[in-house]
Structure 1
Amino acid sequence: MITVELLKMLRRPRTWVIIGMLVALPTLVAVLLAVTDLGPQPGTGPPFLSAVLTDGTLFPLAALGVVLPLFLPIAVAVLGGDAVAGESQTGTLRYLLVRPVGRTSLLVAKLTTVIAFVLMAVLVVAAVSYMEGRLLLGRSTAAGTVSLSGSTLSSSQVAGRTAMALGYVVVCMLGVAAVALFFSTLTSSSIGAALGTIGLLIASTVLLGLDAAQSLHPYLPTRYWLSFVDLFRDPILWRDVVRGLLVQLAYLVVFSLAAWAWFTSKDIED
């Protein structure tokens, strides 16, 4: 069942259109940096920011910073919201369940497919932005990269921390995927499920700006999304990174179980 759902996702033009849109914005940023003076000049501005925006090998970090706050979560919300609600909306959900396929197996397959999309999207954005960065921005001639703490990181350290940053972004989107899947089991409208997920993320962002909601800040899904930058401090500042991982895993577990509890007990009328 998982293989069938993965192949279905890969064969849909929508999947590649969404990934193309995710790649488009970092591409535009790379072109603008290459042909204009928008980026910081060598020796000016924060050293790490200057390196990220002028060294092609580090440009994937800039790409993550561009797509993570808005575009990647929307893409995950759309895919996750369509997982079950889309089948219900088109009238195929009942036929899927007529086969010897349990509801739990179907739900696991749908969640696995969304997670696979997240992993694929992050890797494609990182790979394309790396190639674009090397082509348009070149490579720094310095002996190392200056960290956020002011020390110098070797090439192997930068590569390892970049890999950890990519993994962290993937985990951050797992919580969004679980929320979208839960909303997808509540309604037969894939648009409604996606909008419900996006609404929750917007509410989280708004609450982060309110001092009155400060007690809720550590538990909001968007609170630690950009904490991957702490991986580029020397030494690594693990506090917010670990908290971010725990929060996202909590959302993944809670909303996945909620989706399972609702989906396995609801009447399928479509």
Structure 2
Amino acid sequence: MIAVELRKLALRPRIWVSLFLLCLLPAIVGVFLATADFAPPPGQGGAFLSAVLSNGSLYPAAALALVLPIFLPLSVAVTAGDSIAGEASSGMLRYLLVRPVGRTRLLAAKFVALAVYILVAVLLVVFTSLALGLWLFGGGAEAVGGPGGVTSLSGPALSTTGLGLRLLGAISYIMISMLGFGAIGVFLSTVSDSALGAALGALAVLITSSVLETLDAAAVVKPYLPTHYWLSWIDFFRDPVFWRNIDSGLLLQAGYIVVFFGAAWANFATKDVTS
């Protein structure tokens, strides 16, 4: 069942368009950054942009910072919202359930396919931006820490191996964060028969959470907002790693996955499917 869902994702043109657009934004920024006569001042612009001119191997981190706030969640919202509601709006859901396929199994396969999509999207952004960064800015042989070395956000130098491990940790953290948000989209997809409505509902959650993050009056609920710890993956690039926010973010997203996937299962398992 999982293989079937993955094949259906791979055959949808909009999936490839979304992946292309996710990789296009860092490419455009990289070209402008390479052709400019000056780097963004430290603390301004996206994270790591002021450091990539001296070492292109940092550009994957900068690319992740560019796509995470809006473009990656947008892609996840559309894909998650289409998971069940898309089948219902096309009239295929009823025929899928006629076959000896349990609803739990179908929902789990949809969620696994969403996880694979998120992983592929993040890895594509990382690898394309790494190739682009090395091509435009070089490997940073003159950087602090020797050939291939980079300076952490806290000051000490990181080895190439250390940078790779921290980037792997950031990829894993971002994937889990997007899965927590994707679980909300999957739940809304079981509530609505419109894929667009489910995607818009997930985007409404994203916008509401982002707005509340800026309000001091919402300080009580901020630690529980889905977007609150999204940027904590940057702490992997400090030396030593700041684990407090990372651990809190992982625990929060695990809660979102359990609660909203459980709600999606409870709703879908008892839903009267008529389309």
Give the shorter-chain TM-score range.
over 0.9
1:200 pairs with 2:179:
no
Question: In the alignment, residue 242 of structure 1 is paired with which amino acid?
Answer: D
In 2: Cα distance, 1:27 partner to 1:37 partner: 18
What corresponds to 2:19 in structure 1?
A: 19
1:218 pairs with 2:223:
yes
What corresponds to 1:184 in structure 2?
A: 189
CA spacing shift, 1:53–1:115, aligned 2, 3 Å: farther
- TM-score normalised by the chain length of structure 2: 0.94
In 2: Cα distance, 1:60 partner to 1:48 partner: 9
What corresponds to 1:244 in structure 2?
A: 249
- Structure 2: where are the runs of 5+ without partners? none
Q: Aligned pair count?
A: 267
For the Cα contact (< 8 Å) 1:30–1:137, is it kept in 2?
no
What corresponds to 2:104 in structure 1?
A: 104
In 1: Cα distance, 2:131 partner to 2:37 partner: 21
- Superposed, which structure 2 residues align to 1:47-66 within 5 Å? 50-66=50-66
Misfit runs of 4+, over 4 Å = 46-49
For the Cα contact (< 8 Å) 2:184–2:256, is it kept in 1?
yes
Q: CA deviation at 1:74?
A: 0.4
For the Cα contact (< 8 Å) 2:80–2:199, is it kept in 1?
yes
1:117 pairs with 2:99:
no
Question: In the alignment, residue 12 of structure 1 is paired with which amino acid?
Answer: R
Cα displacement string for residues 176-220 of structure 1 (whole angstroms, at most 9, x for unaligned residues): 110000000001100000000010011111111111110111110
For the Cα contact (< 8 Å) 1:53–1:62, is it kept in 2?
no
- TM-score normalised by the chain length of structure 1: 0.95
Which deviates more, 78-87 or 230-239?
230-239
Which deviates more, 252-261 or 131-140?
131-140
1:138 pairs with 2:138:
yes
Question: In the alignment, residue 130 of structure 1 is paired with which amino acid?
Answer: L
Q: CA deviation at 1:234?
A: 1.1
For the Cα contact (< 8 Å) 1:60–1:129, is it kept in 2?
yes
For the Cα contact (< 8 Å) 1:207–1:213, is it kept in 2?
yes
Q: CA RMSD in A?
A: 1.5
In 2: Cα distance, 1:135 partner to 1:246 partner: 38
For the Cα contact (< 8 Å) 1:22–1:67, is it kept in 2?
yes
For the Cα contact (< 8 Å) 2:27–2:132, is it kept in 1?
yes
Q: CA deviation at 1:38?
A: 4.7
What corresponds to 1:5 in structure 2?
A: 5
What corresponds to 1:230 in structure 2?
A: 235
In 2: Cα distance, 1:11 partner to 1:240 partner: 38
In 1: Cα distance, 2:240 partner to 2:48 partner: 15
1:265 pairs with 2:273:
no
Secondary structure class of the residue paired with 2:219: helix
- Structure 1: where are the runs of 5+ without partners? none
In 1: Cα distance, 2:123 partner to 2:48 partner: 22
What corresponds to 1:150 in structure 2?
A: 155
Alignment identity in percent?
Answer: 51
Secondary structure class of the residue paired with 1:37: coil
For the Cα contact (< 8 Å) 1:32–1:38, is it kept in 2?
no
In 1: Cα distance, 2:87 partner to 2:38 partner: 46
Q: CA deviation at 1:102?
A: 0.7
Q: CA deviation at 1:48?
A: 6.1
